[in-house]
Structure formats: C-alpha cells, structure tokens
Amino acid sequence: MDDHVARLLSLISEPDYVPISVKTLAKRFGVNNDDYPAFRMMMKGLIKAGKLELNKSKQVRKVQTGSTWPTITGTFRRSSKGFGFVRPSKSTEKSEQIFIPVDAGRDASTGDEVVVKIVKKAKGPGFNPEGKIVQVTNRASGLFVGHYFEKNAAGYVHIDGKTFADPVYVGDPGAKGAKPGDKVALEMARYPTPYREGEGVITEVFGPRGQPKVETIAIIRGMGIPDVFDDDTLEEARAQAKAFDEEIIGDREDLRDQLTITIDPATARDFDDAITLTRDDKGYWSLGVHIADVSHFVRVGSPLDDTARRRGTSVYLPDRVIPMLPEVISNSLASLQAGHTRYTVSAFMEFNEDGVRTDRRFARTAIKVDRRFAYEEVFEVIEHPDGELAQSLYPEVRAMIARMLELAMILRRRRFQRGALELSMPEVEIDLGDQGEVTGAHLASNDVSHQIIEEFMLAANEAVASYLTEAKAGFLRRVHPDPEPRKLKDFAEFARSLGIEIEDYLSRFELQRVLAEAANKPEAYAVHFGLLRSLKQAVYTPEQEGHYALASEDYCHFTSPIRRYPDLQVHRQLTALLAGKKPKSNFDELASLAEHCTMTERRAETAERELIKIKLLTYLSGHIGEVYHAVIVGVEDFGFFCRLIEIPAEGLVHITALGDDYYYLEKATHSLIGRRGGKQYRLGDRIEVTIARVDIDRRELDLILGALPPAEPAEVPRKPRPSREPGTDRPSPRTRPASKPTKARKKGKGRRK
C-alpha cells in the first residue's frame, strides 16, 4: 500500500482536488474488494497521523497547514447583521466558537462547513477568539426559497429567514414567469459577500406568497425533502400489492384468533402497531406488541429500499404527510387495518406483578385487528367506565383496556424509579380550515391513553435492543448521550434563581424533583425548556452508549418501520436471527447510515417546526392589535420572550417598547428591572400583551404590553434586535412551538425518544 500513500498525498495536494469519499478514492486507484479493508486501514492511519482529514460528509481532504495561526474546521452561522460565528467540529462549548467579523466571512452562508484562520485570541473569559474564513469546503445548500420582487427593471428574491440580509439578483423581470409577490426557489450562482451582491437563477415558481399550499411546498423545496416517488419505486410497490394474498400466511405464527386492538390518532391513515394483553392466575402479564412487517415488502437493495433509505423518515407537516414509502405499502399492505390479516413482527414480553420483565421472545406473525381505537375513545372509556361508549364495547374489550392501563402505569412507575426524565413540552397542533387556512392552534394532549401506548412501545424497543446486543448483531441504536456537567450546573443555578433548590445537579432524581416541583407553576415551561437546553439531542449510532432521558442501557427504534428507516434496519437484523442466520453488519456502513438517518430526522423536524411558525404567524398577522394573555418564558438584556396562552406562539417584547423606564437585566433572577421605579418583569410572570408586528419572512412576532395606543398601532419604537444568544447556534425562540412530538400528533408512537 506504500505506493497508494504517495499517490493519495499527491492527488489531494492538487489545486483542483475536490473532496471525495474513501470508497470513491479506492475505486479511482483500482482497489479490489479483497484489498479494500487494508486500503481503509491505511486511510485511517493517515488521518490519525494528521496528514489527511474527513469533512462533515465523510469525504477525504488535505489538512490545512502552513500558518502561524491555527486553522480550524467548523460550521458557520451568519447573523442578520452580517457577522457570524463558527462552531468548531465536535465542539459544544459556547466559549470555543470563533467570532467572524462582517468583512471576514467571504461568501459563506449559514450552515456551510468552513476553514477558519484564527487572527486574534480571546481577550478573556466570556470572549470568543476572532477569525476569518479562508475556505468554504461544503455548502449547506445551493437551493434557497424566498419571494420575488422587481426593482429598477431587474428581478430580485428576498430569501426567507435571516441567512441573507440583502436580496439576491435573479436577472431580467419575469424570469421563469415569476410575478412580484410569488414564492420561488432559486439556485445560488454567486454567493453574496459584504462587497458584492449575490446572484441566482430561479428554478421553480410556487405561486403567490401567503397561500397555505404555496408556503408548504416552499418549505419542502427549501429543506430539500423529496416528495415524489420515481416510477421504479411505484412499480415495485404495485407489484407487491398484486402478489399479496392475506389468506396465505406461510409459516408465520397465527395470532388471528387473539383479541387485538390498535390505539391511534383519530386522523391516522397508517397503523404500524397493535396490542394483545392477558394475565394469568399467578398475576403474570403477557404483553404482545405486534409491529407491521415492512421488511417483508421492502427487500434490501430494491427500488423501494433505496427510496426509503434516501428519505430516512416520513415527514409530518400540519397539512400533509410525505411518507417514506408509497401509500400502497404504508397505508395498505403494511398498515394494520382492522378486520384484515396483516403480517407482523411480534415482541412477546412477560412481566411479573411488579412490572419486572421475566421473559421475552420474538416471532414473525400474522394478526387480525379486532378493534381500532382513537385516543379520545380510550380516554373516554377509562374516565367513564359506565358511560355509553364503554358499555357499547364487548366485555372482553373493556377488560383488556383496563388491563392495559394497569400494566402501563406499573411500567411507567418503574421507569421513573430508575431515573427516567420526562419533560412536559407538548407539541403545537394547528387547526386548519377546508382550504388549508389556519383557524387556531392548541397544545397536543398526552393523557393516559397516550401513555399506555408509549410505555408498551418503550418496553418493546428495550426488549429488542437487549436481544440484539446479546446476539452481537450490529444495529442502529437510539442513543441519548449523558449531558455535560457544566450545563447541568448552569441549569441548577437557573432553577435556584426561581426559588427551586438543587443539591446534586448530577442526580437524575434531583432533576425529577425539580420538574415535579415546577409543575403547575407559571415557571413550569421555563424550567422544562431550561433542562431541555441542558441536554444533548438523541441520535442514531451503532455504538452502545445508552439513553440518558430514559435511563436505559439498551435502546433502539423498532416500533415504526412504516415511517422510520432505522426501525426497518432493526427488523432486518431481528428477523435474520429468527431465521437462524447471522445478520450482516459493517460498522462503518452502519455509522454512515446512522448519520444519514439522524440528518433526515433533523430535517423533518425543522421542516415541521418552520411550517408551524409560518402558519401561526400567518394567523396572527390577521390579529394585529388584539390582546392576549401570555407568560414570560425568556429574559434577555434586549427584552423578554412571551408565550401566548390562547395561541401557543412565542414573540418578543423589545426593551424599547418598555417606555415607562430604563430597564436593565439582572441575570441572577432572570428579570428586567426599571432603574427609576423598580418595576420587574421576571421569568414566569403572567402578563397581557398585544400583537404589534408580524414578519412572516423573518419569522418574527413583536409584542407590546397591554393594549395598543389608538394611533398607528403597528409602529412600535424599536432598535434592530440582537440574536437571543450571540455566539451560539441555538435557534431564536420567537414563535418556537414546544416541539416534542407525541403519538396523537403523528403516527410516531410516542415522543421521539
């Protein structure tokens, strides 16, 4: 391999070299399959020796050297003022971010991977080092969405959000048939810099901005979410439908005579889990969690598989679902519809009377759902066992619901006893009219009917993960890394400022107590959100790292293969073991797949969150001047953020709108305090606010206290606002919905754990 080393270093040193993957390099050098492992080890050695490095896309590039100041690779985020910050790769510390002045950012835009040269060291604690971008190595996106307008006989596009402060030139008026006010997609031909305007090409015209369907498709295109299935995928899905005969179950375990039910949102169209539950004379529970056997229809390497892998997940938007698989699979063949024989992969778990799992087994099965329930129906039966709905059910069904509630609450208590945390961050659900217009919004429910299914799904996920671990089968785990002690310490200080003492901030049980103590108080949202910000995000990985929030050593996603590709991968490993085969697993390939699935999940969450913001702001734009009740959920030196009670949106009361005094921030108490009168606005305070200004394109909602003055209510004296946390990449919480998806919200079977 020595000759490969020299050729590699020579190739990568060439001025026109573009980073490519290890596999592509191997193909370029003619490395065959037998020699590939040695080639990969050689690459790892060069990377470890510091001669090469991998970028965010796992592509090989030369390490930047030859400077008196160090160069660092990281992700750039530009503010609306033009300056920005670079978060170094794998860094989580705010103090490690590098400040990039306006004239030092080149043509980098938010999300780009860049190489930064440090030009000034940090002045001291609380300050950031200063740098300048010397190279943009990977663009976050070349496609952007905005609204078209014309000026001085030329066409321009205002890009949505705050990525670009100035409009982008797109040529002569009417390009691509665009009309002023149309929402369009453009491909950037020349990125803007502080000294030169950007230039782009319109690639698609969506229609007049503000229309519900136009805003939805703009988000889909802007996020790069595929929403059309190719012909090969659709043809294979149709062939699967034609070949399927529900009367033929082969060698599957036949469970069609067992009482089986599903519990889903009332509007659900696909059903991927069903439940059976019995209890013997000794008090032992036998729980069956039956999951749609998607792997039967989606074979490895097929067009269906390639499509599902690329998409990674279904995307749930307020007014539509973009499925991972064609609807003939997701809503028909694989969906556990009542009264139809359906193929499943089942997890059978036995629990003693204390909820301790005493046995488990798995099988490929066939079931027939006897009764489909909506959450609201189950809740009604539980709350009113003598009511009309409950009495209309067969006694066996009523008894099963009662058993399900009893076992679920036992499992739930055990989960909290081992230190699991549950943040009360309900998701915003948008109410839509017949034309897709917003008629209101509310917070999603998470009552006992949801908790029943959540506990059973968690139990099945843990059972499968522990089984695959013991079998040493490589699989995609769902991991939630332990939080950094420093961040928990900061949270403890935050809680103390609210009057909630924490003795040991590293103790899960102390954190549980804090959440319980804050419950039903005005500060509850702030406390839960503060702890959420202290925790890391859950990811997919083949590494066994555990799940912090669930206090689980082994955890994976098994219960939603219709909508999540990681679940499908887990099913394949499990069914291979059931067939007596050794599951195939390559750690590097699994790691790459895990990163891809994490990315597609983040993309789906961001698309949902952004569209909810747009719809909430669109609704509130028709309510300028109206008064709402609100609670203060964040306090900064430039104002405070409020969450409206009647419509769950967040907005900013800018400090310049507090005209009765000069206010300063007291960090210890999270308060803005008037210098003359001593009036305070404190985290958790309940106040009345008025909708003063809405900027949908920039995702901003401005509020003022009380009622608007009679003259020109929309004109609120204000200065350009800074970002909420300068130097961080945390999104501004203006209109941030508390997005912790629940099964009621989507076909997601519980929160995204």
pLDDT of residue 73: 87
What totals of helices (H) and strands (E) does the chain contain, helices first?
Answer: 16, 34
Tell me the CATH class for 2-62: mainly alpha
Q: Please, which pLDDT band fits residue 42 given cuts at 50, 70 and 90?
A: confident
For residue 566, the model assigns a pLDDT of 98
Q: Which residues contact 646 (CB under 8 A, 6 or more apart)?
A: 628, 629
Parallel, antiparallel, or unpaired: how do β-strands 253-254 and 357-368 relate? parallel
The answer to whether 508 and 723 have CB atoms below 8 angstroms apart is no
The yes-or-no verdict on residue 728 having pLDDT over 60 is no
Span 281-290, average pLDDT: 96
On the question of pLDDT at 517 being above 70, the answer is: yes
Q: Do domains 71-138 and 625-753 have the same CATH topology?
A: yes
Q: For residue 716, is pLDDT > 60? A: no
Residue scoring higher pLDDT (542 or 266): 542
In whole angstroms, what is the distance from residue 156 CA to residue 167 CA?
A: 6
Cβ-Cβ contacts under 8 Å for 678 (sequence gap 6 or more) = none
Tell me the range of 92-96, 515-519, 578-582 where mean pLDDT is highest.
578-582
Higher-pLDDT residue of 708, 313: 313
Terminal alpha carbon distance of the chain: 44
What's the burial of 618, exposed, middle or buried (CB within 10 Å: 0-12/13-18/19+)?
middle
- Find the helix or strand (DSSP H, E) in which 131 lies: strand 130-138
Which has more confidence, 712 or 485?
Answer: 485
Separation CA 392–CA 652 (nearest Å): 50
Mean pLDDT (whole number) for 442-461: 94
Whether 375 and 266 have beta carbons less than 8 Å apart is answered as yes
Closest to 474 (Cα-Cα) out of 590, 344, 578 = 590
Q: CA 251: distance to chain centroid?
A: 39
Cβ contact 424:519 at 8 Å: yes
Mean pLDDT of the 412-417 span: 96
Please name the helix (run of DSSP H) or strand (run of DSSP E) that holds residue 400, with its range, or none. helix 395-417
Residue 149 has pLDDT above 70, yes or no: yes
Q: In terms of Cα–Cα distance, which of 344, 304, 297, 345 is closest to 324? A: 304
Confidence of residue 415 (pLDDT cuts 50, 70, 90): very high
Which CATH number is correct for 143-209, 3.90.950.10, 2.120.10.80, 3.30.70.3270, 2.40.50.640?
2.40.50.640
Assign 747 a pLDDT band (cuts: 50, 70, 90): very low
Cα gap 261→378, rounded to integer Å: 11
184-206 confidence digits (pLDDT tens) = 999 988 888 877 888 999 999 99
- Bridge partners (DSSP) of residue 14 are none
Q: Is the predicted pLDDT of residue 403 greater than 70, yes or no?
A: yes
Q: Please, which pLDDT band fits residue 92 given cuts at 50, 70 and 90?
A: low
Q: Identify the band that residue 575 occupies on the pLDDT scale cut at 50, 70 and 90.
A: very high
Q: What pLDDT is attached to residue 67? A: 46
Token pair for 276: 């059976």
Position 382 scores a pLDDT of 96
Q: Give the span between the Cα atoms of 538 and 556, in whole angstroms.
A: 11
Give 30 or 701, the one with higher predicted confidence. 701
Cβ-Cβ contacts under 8 Å for 662 (sequence gap 6 or more): 674, 675, 676
Classify burial at 460, counting beta carbons within 10 Å of its beta carbon; exposed 0-12, middle 13-18, buried 19 or more: buried
Say whether pLDDT at 83 is over 90.
no
277 within 8 A of 404, measured Cβ to Cβ: yes
Helix (H) / strand (E) element for 495: namely helix 485-497
Q: At what angle do helices 524-534 and 508-518 cross, to 10 degrees?
A: 150
CATH of 71-138, one of 1.25.40.10, 2.40.50.140, 3.50.50.60, 1.10.3720.10: 2.40.50.140
pLDDT in tens, 432-451: 888 888 898 888 888 999 99
Give me the phi and psi of 355, to 5 degrees please. Answer: 85, 15
Q: Are strands 700-705 and 650-654 parallel, antiparallel or unpaired?
A: parallel
| Predicted confidence band of residue 499 (pLDDT cuts 50, 70, 90) | confident
Q: How far apart are CA 363 and CA 540, in angstroms?
A: 25
Average predicted confidence (pLDDT) for the chain? 87
Which amino acid, 713?
P
Q: Give the relative orientation of helices 303-311 and 565-578 as an angle to the nearest 10 degrees.
A: 130
DSSP calls for 337-372:
-BTSEEEEEEEEEEE-TTS-EEEEEEEEEEEEBSEE
Q: Measure the CA–CA gap between 359 and 176, rounded to whole angstroms.
A: 64
pLDDT score of 59: 81
Coil, strand, or helix at residue 24? helix
Which sequence spans correspond to the domains of the chain? 2-62, 71-138, 143-209, 231-419+427-475+554-582, 483-535, 625-753
Over range 540-565, report the average pLDDT: 96
625-753 is a CATH 2.40.50.140 domain: yes
Range of lowest pLDDT (353-367, 476-490, 552-566, 718-732):
718-732
Give 588's contacts (C-beta < 8 A, 6+ positions apart). Answer: 40
Instruction: Please give the pLDDT value at position 724.
Output: 37
Q: 138-147, 483-492, 644-653: which has the minimum mean pLDDT?
A: 138-147
Residue 579's identity, in one-letter code, is: A
**Max mean pLDDT range (58-62, 640-644, 743-747):** 640-644
Residues near 98 by Cβ (< 8 Å), separated by ≥ 6? Answer: 72, 74, 85, 86, 88, 116, 118, 128, 129, 130, 131
Which residues have a Cβ under 8 Å from the Cβ of 437 and sit 6 or more positions away?
A: 212
pLDDT at 168 over 70: yes
